[in-house]
Amino acid sequence: MRRVAVGSLGGTITMTGGPQGAQPRLGAADLLAGVAGEDLQVEAETLEQLPSASLTPAHVLRAVG
């Protein structure tokens, strides 16, 4: 079985529209909802939920550290 791990920090891909405009609302599991396979194990974790402009190198370093 193949394993895939995905961590989400937020960003443009996680943003959806709402009453207060576009905001990061989707988590890692939401992004991977369409990924399936009998020989595939997917692990998803939302590490941050920030707009792209708010992500800093420190956020990335914490995520990979």
Q: Provide the pLDDT for residue 1.
A: 87
DSSP string across 9-28: EE-GGGEE--TTS-EE---H
The tokens describing 13, both together, are 């891909």
Q: Provide the pLDDT for residue 12.
A: 93
Its pTM surpasses 0.85 = no
Q: Provide the pLDDT for residue 63.
A: 92
Q: Provide the pLDDT for residue 57.
A: 96
Contact 41, 35 (CB under 8 A): no
Chain centroid offset of residue 36 CA: 17
Predicted confidence (pLDDT) per residue in 3-45, tens digit? 989 999 999 999 999 998 999 999 999 998 877 677 888 899 9
**What is the average per-residue pLDDT within 39-55?**
92
